[in-house]
Structure 1
């Protein structure tokens, strides 16, 4: 494991060095010509700088993991030396056999049941079940290291679902949480219920010096912070004890997959629509760019200009470009069926090499990337509400610089409880995870188009 992690660390360092080379290349021409960066150069510089910062976070996490394993290795070696010295146990002898891989303890369709073992270990003291759960935890930890995911924030005991479930969780999550997957992601830190980030409330200033040998502009910057509270997203299922102990069918696949799928939906709704202090979803960010489209007979052409207004407001207020547009599938469908005055569609497939079109389609999907609008990728997400506005029949279009929004997320966990349902010979299964959303770092990086022009479209 140490060798594997050190190899990963070396790869990360090489990737960082490549990014630094790219960053220096961006600055080469402006430095040589002694000029400021152009808009395109500044945008490229910001992207490379953000990528280096993200890579530094990965490197720090990998170094911490390596240090933990190195410390553990030192302690194990010292313990082995003491055992050998005092004759309590022979020193370890290399067997000449190397285990390169082993089957997962809990495999999809396998004969061992994660839920059954969880129940038997917690309530019956079954040592074999405990051993299988322990091996599962080790396999999951190794698998998550390779996936660059994390079990940070309270992973302990037999709480981590099987590796196959983690894989399915990721798959299901990408299908059911479009907006949540398109913002910036960070692992949830351990031991906290609030994540606070510093920010400048007001900046410094410069001004032309009135005359030589006179004081120059002196304006002190002021700082504040923005906080995101950690939310718990959880679900439960009551299962008959007979199903766990006697059924030949493992319910892990059905129950865990269903809980994970619903978790994905609820997390996505949390990112989009939540409206509580320090937990604001994107639609409820205080100070965002609100674009109102009021129209009794809305048209795609008129809505097009409102999206453009949302884009320019991010340019103006954030001074950096937006990178994504989110809308409900019905809104994109409205775009795709709209015709110009000659009866020609305004949105056509990009493969047709269209000219003078309003937007271009990619694949036809119910969720995810569907095409481009005004040069930005469009993602459709059915979790965007359609019951908004005075008539409870409006949806909204979101234009955002997605890297300014950070979702901190842990790894899902599960537990079993018998006591609360003992009178009916049932077991309560509980599934939960922690998440925190920083959507208000830069309110001006979000534009929301709303109004009567976005009522349910007719086809």
Structure 2
């Protein structure tokens, strides 16, 4: 009931704010025209003022109820503390200071996040609510350390447990390599578009050919670039019996699977999305497009195309690129290629190689693998391999990753019983918001494409 009343209070406050805005809007024209209100404006103003007063009365009533329940809750908590203190009367007890304790919801733990979420929302279970609130504090503290925010996830105790946030990219599915290598920013609340101002054409200088003559005068012009906020969501319907009666917690299976797929979809969104104001790196308008056409591609020829991509960023952005992204099959093609004497062109960096094309680090299926032309190389299985006329090409991306900004919120999950009540099922929902600014500097991105990027032969 306390959670329900707090939700009602939030709705009432939002409704009051909307009414106050409408009331103030009636005064806009008279204020601008420096006149009094006409009869119609007086009627509208009084109507909205009465509505605000009524809403204030509702808010006061809700506030009193919430205060009473909070006092009841505090008394119950104090009673429980007193009972615990006296339960073992006569026994010698030592004072214990807790310096650390395990997370509320953790792998292998005894409490179930989804079960508590269901019981708190549908039954008002106070113990479940307490655990969910404790989890919110744990997750919030950890995210603050990571310079992230829980602002978008503050509507009730719906923030997924910390262990899920820690582990959701390290699953059997591909991770989010490219998404994690661009510049991260917390997603601002209360907007569906993030617009950034941009200088379109700049000022100018010129040599003054003679004294006392006008100096160069060129006015700068401006524009803006926008990124639309996208929603990435998924759901799962499960029997209510599974939540209430199962001897194992389903959190480890359901949260991990939903979160793993979210990681894939977000990474794909960053790499290959092709909607206006949401364009992924491969579809940025005005990027440096390098075509590699070859029926029998070789690593040596591809090497020069990567160099072309690097120099085009130097030339167009006037700042250096910092990362190279490719599919694991493309990097494998590099690592198995030999020179005319049968020597590998890419060798482990531990061997202190000389005169090699590239150096590789650890052998991994995703993430950092080595260096190429002085830049770190990251492999990502989410880079598509079905592009081109033959639907068998992948792409190499050279980028100045700090020029690309990914705004990401905090993942959330919810449970709903009503939508599936006729079959005694519960709908679990997982979602998050993200926005990608990939077109701030199109010349910061080079993409190598063409028939030379067909599936390599080993």
Shorter-chain TM-score tier:
0.7 to 0.9
1:364-443 correspondence to structure 2 within 5 Å: 364-443=363-442
- In the alignment, structure 1 residue 123 sits paired with structure 2 residue 136: no
What secondary structure does 1:176 align onto? coil
Task: After superposition, give the CA deviation of every residue in 1:370-397 in whole Å (9 maximum; x if it has no partner).
Answer: 1111111111101000000000000010
Partner of 1:357: 356
Whole-Å Cα distance in 2 between the matches of residues 98 and 358 of structure 1? Answer: 59
CA contact 2:321–2:444 (8 Å) conserved in 1: yes
Partner of 1:193: 192
Partner of 1:262: 261
1:104-123 correspondence to structure 2 within 5 Å: 104-123=103-122
Whole-Å Cα distance in 1 between the matches of residues 369 and 141 of structure 2? Answer: 35
Partner of 2:224: 225
Unmatched 5+ residue regions in structure 1? 1-78, 84-95
Whole-Å Cα distance in 2 between the matches of residues 151 and 338 of structure 1? Answer: 47
Number of residue pairs the alignment of both structures matches: 368
Task: After superposition, give the CA deviation of every residue in 1:227-275 in whole Å (9 maximum; x if it has no partner).
Answer: 0011111111111111100011000111111111111111000000000
- In the alignment, structure 1 residue 210 sits paired with structure 2 residue 227: no
CA contact 1:401–1:445 (8 Å) conserved in 2: yes
- In the alignment, structure 1 residue 243 sits paired with structure 2 residue 237: no
- CA drift of 1:360 comes to 1.0
What secondary structure does 1:242 align onto? helix
Partner of 2:272: 273
Task: After superposition, give the CA deviation of every residue in 1:14-37 in whole Å (9 maximum; x if it has no partner).
Answer: xxxxxxxxxxxxxxxxxxxxxxxx
CA contact 1:173–1:264 (8 Å) conserved in 2: no
Compute the TM-score of the two structures, normalised by the length of structure 2. 0.77
RMSD: 2.1
Partner of 1:61: none
- CA drift of 1:107 comes to 2.4
What secondary structure does 2:236 align onto? strand
CA contact 1:140–1:162 (8 Å) conserved in 2: yes
Whole-Å Cα distance in 2 between the matches of residues 195 and 395 of structure 1? Answer: 30
Unmatched 5+ residue regions in structure 2? 1-66, 72-94
Task: After superposition, give the CA deviation of every residue in 1:187-241 in whole Å (9 maximum; x if it has no partner).
Answer: 1111111111111000000000121000000001111110001111111111111
Whole-Å Cα distance in 2 between the matches of residues 434 and 356 of structure 1? Answer: 46
CA contact 2:173–2:260 (8 Å) conserved in 1: no
CA contact 2:169–2:176 (8 Å) conserved in 1: no
The answer to which of 197-206 and 154-163 deviates more is 154-163
- CA drift of 1:296 comes to 0.8
The answer to which of 110-119 and 311-320 deviates more is 110-119
Whole-Å Cα distance in 2 between the matches of residues 103 and 314 of structure 1? Answer: 48
Partner of 1:314: 313
- CA drift of 1:171 comes to 4.7
Partner of 1:150: 149
Partner of 1:286: 285
Compute the TM-score of the two structures, normalised by the length of structure 1. 0.77
What secondary structure does 2:168 align onto? helix
Indicate how the Cα distance of structure 1 residues 149 and 194 shifts in structure 2: closer, same or farther if over 3 A, else same.
same
Whole-Å Cα distance in 1 between the matches of residues 344 and 145 of structure 2? Answer: 46
Indicate how the Cα distance of structure 1 residues 388 and 265 shifts in structure 2: closer, same or farther if over 3 A, else same.
same
Whole-Å Cα distance in 1 between the matches of residues 173 and 377 of structure 2? Answer: 16
Task: After superposition, give the CA deviation of every residue in 1:144-195 in whole Å (9 maximum; x if it has no partner).
Answer: 2233321122422011011222222365599701100111001111111111
Partner of 1:347: 346
Whole-Å Cα distance in 2 between the matches of residues 98 and 220 of structure 1? Answer: 67
- CA drift of 1:454 comes to 0.6
Partner of 2:450: 451
